[in-house]
Amino acid sequence: MKKLSLLTLIFFLNILTFNSYAKIVYLDLNFIINKSELGMTLNDHIKKLKEKNLSKFNQIENELKQKEKSLLSQQNILEKQEFNKKLNNLSNEIKKYQSNKKTSMDSLKSVKIENTKKIINFLNPIITNYVDKNSISLVVPKKNIIVGKKNLDITDEIIKLLDDQNNTLNLK
């Protein structure tokens, strides 16, 4: 029984000793990407592109709706063969519109992903230097934390360091 108590005591002392040496912090990568100067620049650029695409596609969609109304109003006037021909042309235009819209949305996603990767590449050396300077053993993503002390969150410090770097994204 004494051996078991002694082993338990040694085990808990080792855990306490390990915790006194290991410095563990967490950071919110999504918050950094969205609230840093680079992230806000990227978000503004994506928003402008979305609005531009949306207005362009809304205009095309309205034109297609007008063509459809016009064609439906001519349904009884036109011969069946000519009506079907115009209907097929309209259907092809709609498919082309949908394809262009999907391509545009995919392009927008790829621009966001590509530039987010650039921001992360800017972040990696900053986080590494911060960890080295502050003798941090482990950095955990905030999304994996259920509860943690606020003083262990290094997100704001990393944002300040990233903003001080004056990095720029070459946005297209």
The model's pTM: 0.71
Give the confidence band of 83 by pLDDT, cuts at 50, 70, 90. Answer: confident
As a whole number, the mean pLDDT across the chain is 85
Give the confidence band of 21 by pLDDT, cuts at 50, 70, 90. Answer: low
Q: Which sequence spans correspond to the domains of the chain?
A: 25-164
> 26: Cβ–Cβ under 8 A, 6 or more apart, which residues?
139, 140, 141, 142, 144, 145, 148, 152, 153, 154
Amino acid sitting at position 122: F
pLDDT in tens, 138-165: 888 888 878 878 888 899 999 999 888 8
Rounded distance between C-alpha atoms, residue 159 and residue 37, angstroms: 8
Quickly count: other Cβ atoms within 10 Å of residue 23's Cβ. Answer: 14
Rounded distance between C-alpha atoms, residue 83 and residue 105, angstroms: 33
**Pure H helices in the chain:** 2-21, 29-35, 37-73, 80-133, 155-164
Give the confidence band of 18 by pLDDT, cuts at 50, 70, 90. Answer: low
Rounded distance between C-alpha atoms, residue 158 and residue 31, angstroms: 11
